[in-house]
Amino acid sequence: MPSVVLTDEPEVQEAASLSQVLRQGTIGSLQAALLAAVLLEASTLGLFYPRWLKDLLFDSGAFYLDTLVLWVVIGFLWAVLGRLWWSIGIVLSLVLTVGVANLVKIRIREEPVYPSDLDFVREPEFLTSMVSPVFLVVAVGVAVGVLVLAVRTGRRMDARYPRPRWRQLPREQALAVLGMRVGVGVVAAMLLAQAGQFNQPGNVWRGLYEVRGNDWRYWSQKTNYRSNGFVGGFLFNMPVNAMARPLGYDAAVMDRIADRYDVLADELNADRTGSLDDTNVVIVLSESFTDPTELDGFELERDPIARTRALMGETTSGRMLAQMYGGGTANMEFETLTGQSLGLFRPQMLSPYQMLVPEHADYPSAVGWFRSNGHDAIAVHPYRVGMYKREQVYERFGFESFIHDTTIGEKDTIGDNPYISDKSAFDEVLQQIGDHENPLLVNLVTMQNHIPVDDNYDDPVGVRGADGGEGKRIGQYARGLEHTDEALAEFLDELGKGPEKTVVLFFGDHLPGIYGSSVKNANKGLALYRTPFFIWSSEPGRNVPRVLPTTSPAFFLPLLYDAVDAPVPPYLALLDEVHRHVSAIQQGRLLDGAGEPVKEADLDAESAQLLADLRLVQFDFSIGGRFAVDRMWPGAVR
């Protein structure tokens, strides 16, 4: 905050010091805030496109608000530290760090940095695996260099304009400076506290961002950040309740809904003759497993998933609608295990594993349901336990054991791929089935095909039409898919030979973030958001060819029960009925019963009512009173 500059003329010194320091400090801090805002907007790449530049500077004016927020941050640090250049250096260093992370994340996952990403600071090894060590060292060096440069500049300014010690100041002047620092610090702290509550009703900052209308483009967070400013988009994604309270929600309403779907479940179950009570249920979320032959813009010399494609032709199968390109693994896992859709949560609920589930002592899921029906529940993820807070989440769901990278029996890798192979993961499942007397629910999340995929194998699949680094990455990725394809076929063959009945739900979670702009531009619409899935049973006669419309993982459980003709509880009956009318739900996207895009406002009355019922049930199960859990999904909470 303000410091006093001494000159040789005492009578001028007192008058000039405060006004000069305030004037120069105000201008300098504002210039630094402008530079910080430009760097952050540039990190979304929106600054270089006329459309986004128009949004930021004229339509929404978000750039000026972003600058104002950053100016408040600098002002707060200035008030606390009493050193303007240190404050500017800290802010610019943080801005550069966040900006680089944002550029990398957009390139890999087509989404910007979120507040919830701060959780990954606890997993530095995972973060460093996403970028080259050289790039990381350079980025850190630049950030540190900016801070050092700012501090050195501040020292040179101090040498040119010496500041007196506190005890050298006249009492009145010292009190004035102290009062100003306290006043600015308090006001800035209050404004920053408001920023942290951005999504609360009546928030000052949100009101400013919405002066020209509510234009939050939550269906595409990259677009949201570009049109509303990086800071505006970042604040929009600050923590908020998972769902708004649906109109009319109370215990009586939920009782009526439970009655309705109790009847529907009885109707569905009347003709079902199968059972899962004595059957192992294996859910396989295969990291980045996709069908690259469906994409335009390049050709592979051979089909990398030929065996899986053949299996899909013999079973219940189709395409899953991924939440995002390049990421979202834990969200797809959450939807599968809970039947809850990210599309029915508020758009700020970016990661239920990080932002929702750990806040509860327990959480309704298939884990509790299967355990209440005699299954032992095991989670297998051959990676670190801290990712997406899985250790806490699995405990809330009710898993009895969690097998991870340090406890898995086999830790084999393939070639130079650093991740544990899918074959080792499948062998662990086979071992667990053999070791348990009770039927199992196994939730397996693999890692083999996680990015980066550069130089993993010495025999990549040949690629035509994609040159340079992109073609190399595609060929390496396709070779990894072949390894998965082979290991999966062997896994199912072993299950088929075994004495126990087993049903397997297999699906890919999202496309890998390896494709360049040419491939992305050649695959508009849903092409970059579809992954294969199938449901296979070891029981003779259960596998019947059936191709389903594009679906969401929230509907996998009722589809699994339907594939084996097993009776369902009322909750899965509701999901089954919704799926017949709305085959897929993701944030900003709805597909009708035939798998075609549809707007919620255009749904027929029956579909709209089903969606409204599902929204009520999801609110009740997630953050509501759980009035209907025991009736609609008995045993789901452990």
What pLDDT score was predicted for residue 8? Answer: 40
* Maximum C-alpha span of the chain: 100
What pLDDT score was predicted for residue 276? Answer: 96
Q: How far apart are CA 324 and CA 266, in angstroms?
A: 36
Burial 456-479 (b: 16+ CB within 10 A, else e): bbeebbebeebeeebbbbbbbbbb
Helix axes 570-581, 605-622, angle to 10 degrees: 140
> How far from 456 is each of 72, 298, 385, 543, CA to CA, in Å?
47, 20, 24, 35
Taken in order 180, 184, 190, 196, the sign of the CA dihedral is negative
Round the average pLDDT of the chain to a whole number and report it: 89
Q: Would you call 366 exposed, middle or buried from its count of C-beta atoms within 10 A (0-12, 13-18, 19+)? A: buried
3 state SS for 424-467: HHHHHHHHHHHHCCCCEEEEEECCCCCCCCCCCCCCCCCEECCC
Regions of the chain where pLDDT drops below 50: 1-16
From the list 224, 245, 49, 228, the residue with the least C-alpha distance to 588 is 224
Amino acid found at 450: H
What pLDDT score was predicted for residue 25? Answer: 78
Specify the 3-state DSSP secondary structure of 624. Answer: coil
Angle formed at CA 155 by CA 151 and CA 156, multiple of 5 degrees: 120
The partner residues of 179 in beta bridges, in order of sequence, read none
Q: How far apart are CA 570 and CA 275, in angstroms?
A: 16
* Tokens matching residue 296: 């335009």
DSSP assignment of 298-336: -EESS-TTHHHHHHHTTSEEEEEE-SSSS--HHHHHHHH
Q: How far apart are CA 601 and CA 599, in angstroms?
A: 5
Q: How far apart are CA 43 and CA 102, in angstroms?
A: 6
What pLDDT score was predicted for residue 124? Answer: 65
What pLDDT score was predicted for residue 161? Answer: 52
Stretch(es) of the chain classified as CATH 3.40.720.10: 271-632
Q: How far apart are CA 338 and CA 283, in angstroms?
A: 13
**Residue 392: partners with Cβ closer than 8 Å, 6 or more residues away:** 357, 358
What pLDDT score was predicted for residue 434? Answer: 95
Q: What is the pTM of this model?
A: 0.87
**Residue 574: partners with Cβ closer than 8 Å, 6 or more residues away:** 261, 264, 610, 613, 614, 617, 632
What pLDDT score was predicted for residue 7? Answer: 39
Q: How far apart are CA 558 and CA 59, in angstroms?
A: 46
Q: How far apart are CA 410 and CA 299, in angstroms?
A: 35
Q: What percent of the chain is helix, strand and coil (3-state, nearest 5)?
A: 55, 10, 35
> How far from 362 is each of 348, 356, 528, CA to CA, in Å?
22, 11, 34
Burial 74-103 (b: 16+ CB within 10 A, else e): bbbbbbeebbbbbbbbbbbbbbbbbbbbbb
* 304 backbone dihedrals φ, ψ, rounded to 5°: -80, -15
Share of the chain above pLDDT 90, in %: 68
CATH superfamily, with its number, for domain 271-632: Alkaline Phosphatase, subunit A (3.40.720.10)
Q: How far apart are CA 326 and CA 511, in angstroms?
A: 5
